[in-house]
Amino acid sequence: MLKKTILLSTLLFCLFQANAQVWRGMNLGMEIGVLDLSGSGRVGMFLNLEPRRKASENTIIGLRIGATINSLTYENEDLSQFVINEVSSNGVISIVPTIDYYWNDAELRPSLGIGIGSYLLVGFLDVFQTRASNPAERVVEVSVGHQIGLLVRGGFEWGKYRVGLEYNFTPIAKVELPGGQKVGTVDRRYLGLSLGFSLWGGGES
């Protein structure tokens, strides 16, 4: 997943450079951050890429493409029957149209933003059936569908640099076997603190 995100950032950067006139007035931002996973014993991180364009004097619109690592929380419905391999899939890719409002045009600019978009589980989730008699049926790959989620964020920009705090909310999803039997749930909500900068800018954002 991380390799795919780095590849995507490289492709976006080349696209902006090759079409500087077409993308005039836009910039491409990158954010790297850590997740609040208190008490989980895991280290969570995320990477966001976002083409942005000034829509009005104080408003900027964008398309945030995000990827997380170790951001999911699983809950097993029945430990006597199932074991969820959390390592097999513990990341999310999100594509979220955004809008941010800036309070002033000073050197240090506070902002508040919101977005609604799609949040997808990365890859397949492995579920072990402890009571299965056939060894070939003990491990089942489960796919958890995408969900519509809400992004709320705020921060400060100083030149090409940005410090932000964001919260991503999605409903808790069911983890089910192909036959429909419920295994547990997965929670994709997360709170993150980020540092960002502009990779490429075609004008004031």
Provide the CATH number for the domain around residue 167. Answer: 2.40.160
Question: Cα-atom radius of gyration of the chain, to the nearest Å?
Answer: 20
Answer whether residue 36 is part of any domain.
Answer: yes
Query: What is the secondary structure of 146-165 as a DSSP string?
Result: -EEEEEEEEEEEETTEEEEE
* DSSP track, 82-127: EEEEGGGS--EEEEEEEEEEES--SSEEEEEEEEEEEEEE-S-EEE
For residue 86, being part of any structural domain is answered with yes
Q: Is the pLDDT of residue 82 over 80?
A: no
State the residue range of the domain holding 161: 2-12+27-201
**Mean pLDDT score, 127-134:** 73
The one-character DSSP state at 171 is P
Under the banding of pLDDT at 50, 70 and 90, the label for residue 101 is very high
Q: How far apart are CA 74 and CA 126, in angstroms?
A: 12
CA distance 159 to 167: 24
Classify residue 144: in a domain, yes or no.
yes
| Count of C-beta atoms within a 10 Å radius of residue 160 | 13
Choice between 142 and 155, residue whose per-residue pLDDT is larger: 155
Q: Looking at the domain assignment, is residue 116 inside a domain?
A: yes
The proportion of the chain whose per-residue pLDDT surpasses 70, expressed as a percent, equals 76
Among 60, 41, 46, CA closest to 166:
46
pLDDT score, position 159: 87
pLDDT at 147: 86
In a domain, 130, yes or no: yes
User: Which residue's structure tokens are 């590849």?
Assistant: 7
Question: For the residues 58-85, what does the mean pLDDT come to?
Answer: 84
Is 21 among the domain residues? no
Mean pLDDT for 104-114 is 90
CA dist 145 and 188 (Å) reads: 12
Q: Helix and strand tally (H, E) in the chain?
A: 1, 14
145 assigned to some structural domain = yes
Look at residue 8 and tell me whether its pLDDT is greater than 70. no
- Give pLDDT, residue 50: 95
Percentage of residues in the chain having pLDDT higher than 90: 35
Question: In the chain, how many domains are there?
Answer: 1
More confident residue, 188 or 49: 49
Query: Within a 13 Å sphere around the CA of 52, how many CA atoms are in the beta-carbon half?
Result: 28
Is 132 contained in some domain?
Answer: yes
Can you name the residues that pair with 26 across neighbouring β-strands? 53
Model pLDDT, residue 21: 47
